[in-house]
């Protein structure tokens, strides 16, 4: 499979060290991180027709990805 866009380290390059720190040290962040990557890869597979889906499902997956990304960003900004 080709490069998957919207990976967290590309979306938030300024937080790469913080992502690693939280991913390994915070269970809640780790679950959010894993959930984000699962849905992001599902969106990518649907968009590239590797695993086609209907438009409604694709839209719901994109919304879920956005909600997870927003929550992850809030945790990254918190000290």
* pLDDT tens-digit series, residues 42-66: 999 999 999 999 999 999 999 999 9
Specify if 73 maps to a domain.
Answer: yes
13 vs 2: CA distance, rounded Å: 20
Specify if 71 maps to a domain.
Answer: yes
Predicted TM-score (pTM) of the model is 0.91
Specify if 1 maps to a domain.
Answer: no
pLDDT tops 90 at residue 2: no
Specify if 6 maps to a domain.
Answer: no
Specify if 5 maps to a domain.
Answer: no
Specify if 43 maps to a domain.
Answer: yes
Specify if 4 maps to a domain.
Answer: no
Specify if 57 maps to a domain.
Answer: yes
13 CB-near residues (< 8 Å, 6+ apart): none
Q: Which is more confident, 3 or 63?
A: 63
Total domains present in the chain: 1
* pLDDT tens-digit series, residues 4-41: 899 999 999 999 999 999 999 999 999 999 999 999 99
């Amino acid at each position: 499979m080709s490069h998957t866009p919207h990976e967290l380290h590309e979306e938030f390059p300024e937080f790469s060290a913080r992502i690693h720190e939280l991913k390994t040290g915070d269970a809640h962040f780790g679950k959010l991180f894993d959930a984000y990557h699962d849905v992001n890869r599902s969106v990518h597979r649907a968009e590239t027709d590797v695993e086609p889906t209907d438009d409604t499902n694709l839209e719901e997956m994109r919304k879920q990805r956005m909600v997870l990304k927003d929550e992850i960003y809030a945790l990254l900004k918190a000290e």
